[in-house]
Amino acid sequence: MKIISMDVMSTGVIAYYVLIASREGLFTPIVSSFVKNGAYSDPVPQAIILTAIVIGFSIQALMLVGVMKLARDNPTLETNEIEKDNTP
């Protein structure tokens, strides 16, 4: 549940930044004869968000591997029991 909640939080932050980046306009900043002096969306936040999506995916995969290793050693879903068994 903690991994899913972290993924939902990350998706919410990404959606918020996409909303802010597209607030000025919906067009891509490509020179064209059709749209002159139009409102363009900023490409820098879009590039940062793409990087955040890739990093979020890799962190989620790493956390799932950690959960698989914990599940192999401790066949329970109770975090209190896992912490009690692994505390020095």
Q: What is the pLDDT of residue 58?
A: 92
Q: Is the pTM of this model over 0.85?
A: no
CA dihedral sign of residues 45, 49, 25, 28: positive
Distance from C-alpha of 21 to C-alpha of 43, rounded to nearest angstrom: 8
* pLDDT tens readout for residues 65-77: 988 888 888 777 7
What counts of helices (H) and strands (E) characterise the chain?
Answer: 3, 0
